[in-house]
Amino acid sequence: MAEAILEVRDLVKHYPLTRGILFKKHVGAVKAVDGVDVELFAGETLGIVGESGCGKSTLAKMLVHLERPTAGTIRYKGEDITTLSGRALKAVRRNIQMVFQDPYTSLNPRMTVGDIVGEPYEIHPEVAPKGSRRQKVQELLDVVGLNPEYINRYPHQFSGGQRQRIGIARGLALRPEVIVADEPVSALDVSVQAQVINLLDKLQSEFSLSYVFIAHDLSIVRHISDRVGVMYLGRIVEIGRDAEIYDHPTHPYTQALLSAVPVPDPQAREHRERIILTGDVPSPTNIPSGCRFRTRCWKAQERCAREVPLLAVPPHLESVEGPARHPSACHFAEEKHVVPSGPAAGDGGTGGAKSL
């Protein structure tokens, strides 16, 4: 197996809850990320899906060193970068960059596009000598599909999709190896989302990038990812290749999640089985004992309250040959087919028209 470019071990981020202004008293912690193990291989896209509050954004922030982990390690090419600071951290940052969710707040409204995309060079002057920067910025704009002449314009003169391209250009400026994209298209209109996804795809092969792609939209994650991790309440509950997760999910949460996704195919609504979960996600300050999904799980038994299921290939699936054999943190993991694979929904064949 290829060398992991990023290796995350037992990563934890707890935000302490305190009372009082002067004499702070600990009254608990928000366990945003609570023990994540994952690795990213060179050239691949790792998708992370989960609902709001599952800790996926906190994970992203720790990967790019915007948050310091409470515990655990992040290794970049074997080197532990978790505790780096100063010059060494700055050097690592060149290789791991981020694309943000909201194109309206991720660009400084007081700076021109040229200043925004060129800022990485000002911070890391060794990457590009002063004279060449303007040209480099224009090249970057060209690469992300923007007219290089826009270099003197301000962000508010651009649409959401174009702003996101500017953000991507900034992320690319230092020629990083890893890009962590946190919901990069969820603020965009449907017709513009596809443009940006295609751009990310194109850039990946052009610059041999590895992506960590974080999103709540399962269809988009499948489209872009080679492997997918499903997060629930601060942990990855199931991980595998895209077909393993989408076509052969074994964790009940993944199954419920996938079955709940509205599919743009009205045929599907009659014959589709939906797993409707009861209740809400528990608070991350008060995580259930044992399996954290058990409070909403229809399979939950006594054992689930006692024993924390580990993220590994379940013992009873060890012997199975095929895609069901992938890590799943469930004592009763079992394959269930939940994604309808009907006729192509969106390609507007002539066959449908005949029925009119």
193-252: contacts with another protein (CB under 8 A): 193-195, 197-198, 201, 216, 218-220, 222-224, 242-243, 246-247
Residue 9: CB minimum distance to another protein, A: 22
* 80, 6 Cβ separation under 8 angstroms: no
Q: Tokens in use for 238?
A: 């199931």
By the rule CB under 8 A, 93 interacts with another protein: yes
Residues 26-45 that bind another protein (CB under 8 A): none
- Closer to another protein by CB, 286 or 319: give it: 286
Which residues on neighbouring strands pair with residue 228, listed in sequence order? 47, 240
**Distances in Å between the alpha carbon of 193 and those of 164, 264, 269?**
10, 16, 25
Q: DSSP 3-state assignment of 267? A: coil
Q: Tell me whether strands 79-80 and 71-76 are parallel, antiparallel or unpaired.
A: antiparallel
- Closer to another protein by CB, 213 or 332: give it: 213
Distance CA 163, CA 188 (A): 10
Q: Tokens in use for 237?
A: 């509950």
Phi, psi of 247 (to 5 degrees): -100, -20
Per CB under 8 A, the list member of 85, 205, 286, 350 interacting with another protein is 350
Q: Tokens in use for 144?
A: 């992300």
- Closer to another protein by CB, 11 or 174: give it: 174
Residue range at the interface with another protein (CB under 8 A); choices 71-79, 187-195, 305-313, 317-325? 187-195
By the rule CB under 8 A, 170 interacts with another protein: yes
Per CB under 8 A, the list member of 58, 82, 101, 328 interacting with another protein is 101
- Closer to another protein by CB, 41 or 150: give it: 150
- What's the first-to-final CA gap in the chain, in angstroms? 53
Residue 201: CB minimum distance to another protein, A: 7
Q: Tell me whether strands 79-80 and 227-232 are parallel, antiparallel or unpaired.
A: unpaired
- Closer to another protein by CB, 1 or 21: give it: 21
Distance CA 329, CA 344 (A): 32
User: Three-class SS string for 5-54?
Assistant: EEEEEEEEEEEEEEECCCCCEEEEEEEEEEEEEEEEECCCEEEEECCCCC
Residue 68: CB minimum distance to another protein, A: 12
Residue 269: CB minimum distance to another protein, A: 5
- Closer to another protein by CB, 37 or 45: give it: 45
Residues 119-138 that bind another protein (CB under 8 A): 119-120, 123-124
Provide the residue type at 214 as one letter.
I
Strand ranges in the chain using DSSP code E only, listed in sequence order: 4-19, 25-41, 45-49, 71-76, 79-80, 96-99, 178-182, 210-215, 227-232, 235-241
Residue 36: CB minimum distance to another protein, A: 19
Residue 270: CB minimum distance to another protein, A: 11
- Closer to another protein by CB, 276 or 302: give it: 276
Residues 309-348 that bind another protein (CB under 8 A): 339-342, 345-348
- Closer to another protein by CB, 286 or 355: give it: 355
Residue 204: CB minimum distance to another protein, A: 12
Residues 254-293 that bind another protein (CB under 8 A): 256-258, 260-269, 274, 276-277, 280-281
By the rule CB under 8 A, 78 interacts with another protein: no
Per CB under 8 A, the list member of 126, 149, 302, 318 interacting with another protein is 149
CA dihedral 3, 96, 30, 297 (to 10 degrees): -50
Size of the residue set binding another protein (CB under 8 A) = 104
